[in-house]
Amino acid sequence: MNQYKILRVLRLIGLLQQSPSKSVHQLAQLLDNTDRTVYRYLELIRELGFDVQRDHFKRFSIVSGELGKVTFTAEEATLLNELIQTVAVDSPLRDGILKKVYLCSEIPVVGKHVLKAHIGTIVQQLSEAIAFNKQVRLKKYHSLHSERIIDRIVEPFAFTDNYASLMAFEPATMKNKLFKVERITGVEVMQKTWKHDTLHKQVSPDAFGFGPGEKSYPIHLVFSLRACILLKEEFPLCGPYIKPTTKSNLFELKMSVNNLKPVQRFVDGLKGEFTEVNI
């Protein structure tokens, strides 16, 4: 919960700096939160020293350039870096936040954070499309399922935890699907509004990040300690399903998944670490 609060407060600061000004209700929709919570966040931002202004239409904004006046010492930036790395370890927004911290401090920018910083912009565009019921074009989406890189026109309506995946309805297939945010090259918000909102249905990803398909697949893997550690790091949602076996330093995973490709890819990448593979 602390992770979500930090991300939402930082995101609110970014939204308030962008034109046009926004009402509390619009901000609540963009943050997937309540009006009451947004009012609390606005007060917190004021206490932090930001000049939050409200116009005669009751829309809020931060004076342009206000964030640029904030500077961090090397020690402060290091502490912020450690906090964000800890509480936002699985969030794709982490790198964009860290880039801003580095740019406002004496710490040099870390390359990998610059490369992934565009994800924050993508999440922002998708959030605005969700708030205003707009269709979007996901530019050059890298699909693991079809093994193609193509544009996808969808109706976005929600995110999964940590903004890792986008829940959207795809008119071309008439299906609700999950789209990995990190696999989206760019976003074009279209003028067309939703046409299939009555068919929108939230979908939950499996431990490997895939939404439900026509059927699920049971898997049973037995593997080494090294494979166990790497599996937890790459797919942390598998953690609760991993159990030690009766044999020393061997572990097993029993569960059902919605797609076998990421499982097979993981197994193929660690040949010699598995003593039993049933998929």
User: What radius of gyration do the chain's Cα atoms show?
Assistant: 21
pLDDT digits (tens, 9 = 90+) for 131-175: 899 999 999 898 766 677 889 999 999 887 667 788 999 999 999
Whether 8 and 110 map to the same domain: the answer is: yes
Whether 8 and 112 map to the same domain: the answer is: yes
Whether 40 and 17 map to the same domain: the answer is: yes
pLDDT digits (tens, 9 = 90+) for 79-138: 666 666 565 556 666 666 665 665 555 444 443 444 455 677 788 888 889 889 999 999
Domain count, the chain: 3
Whether 225 and 194 map to the same domain: the answer is: no
pLDDT at 178 over 80: yes
209 Cβ neighbours under 8 A, 6+ residues apart = 164, 165, 178, 180, 235, 262
Task: Identify which of 10-24, 72-86, 247-261 has the greatest average pLDDT.
Answer: 247-261
pLDDT at residue 243, as a whole number: 93
Cα of 200 vs its chain's centroid, Å:
20
Q: What range does the domain containing 166 cover?
A: 120-199
In this structure, of 96-110, 231-245, 253-267, the range with the lowest mean pLDDT score is 96-110
**What is the arithmetic mean of pLDDT over 56-79?**
65
Residue 205 within any structural domain of the chain: no
Whether 34 and 106 map to the same domain: the answer is: yes
Of the chain, the percentage scoring pLDDT greater than 70 comes to 76
Q: What are the E-state strand segments in 144-201?
A: 148-159, 165-170, 175-180, 186-193
Residue 142 within any structural domain of the chain: yes
Query: How confident is residue 210, by pLDDT bands cut at 50, 70 and 90?
Result: confident
Q: Which pTM value belongs to this model? A: 0.50
Residue 82 within any structural domain of the chain: yes
Domain stop point among 131, 165, 199: 199
Residue 177 within any structural domain of the chain: yes
